[in-house]
Structure 1
Amino acid sequence: MRLCISLLLVTLALCCYQANARVCPSLLKELTTFLLGTEDEYTTLLGSFGPPREVIAAKVELKECVDQISFGHKLLISEIVGKIVAKCNQLTVP
């Protein structure tokens, strides 16, 4: 359960670091795929950003840890992330 809390805190920091910033759609897609997608989907998505292979390997290794979280807990985390994103996007001044 400690990993879940850490993941949520990092997500909150990445999504809402400024009160006037919208959540980047690419970041949201990466977070969603990281949490609920397969390893192949995540690797493909990361490859589309053009990072070094070492970065992809490190992030996929981290995803292997996250994949050990039960699906029910992953859904709860994704609901909370959705609420965070909605709140951050609400605070945005058009």
Structure 2
Amino acid sequence: MRLTVCLLLVMLSLCCYQANAIVCPAVISDITSFLFLNDNLVKLEVGKYNPPPEAVAAKLKIKKCTDQISPGKRVSLKESWRA
């Protein structure tokens, strides 16, 4: 079992060597809205995926933690994804 996992990781690293650090624009938009919008707008944004109520509650719980990040750090995070 362990050998299979190791071989799988090696195969993935060899076959996916062309992967790069360019982030999908939709992911950037989702994360940016998560960092900068208020709770009600985040609920609306997440609602387009039809998640279960537990998932929405979990995301809002995480948002309360990320809301403690200073605005300057949030902007730095946003700019680092666009590079």
Q: TM (normalized to structure 1)?
A: 0.61
1:50 and 1:81 map into 2 onto residues whose CA distance is 26
CA RMSD of aligned residues (A): 2.0
Q: CA deviation at 1:80?
A: 0.6
Residues 16-42 of structure 1, C-alpha deviations (whole Å, 9 max, x = no match):
xx7279744432221111111111111
Q: TM (normalized to structure 2)?
A: 0.68
Provide the aligned length of Structure 1 versus Structure 2: 66
Identity %: 38
* Structure 1 unaligned residues grouped into runs of 5+: 1-17, 84-94
Counterpart mapping for 1:58-77 below 5 A? 58-77=58-77
* Structure 2 unaligned residues grouped into runs of 5+: 1-17
| Greater radius of gyration (CA) | 2
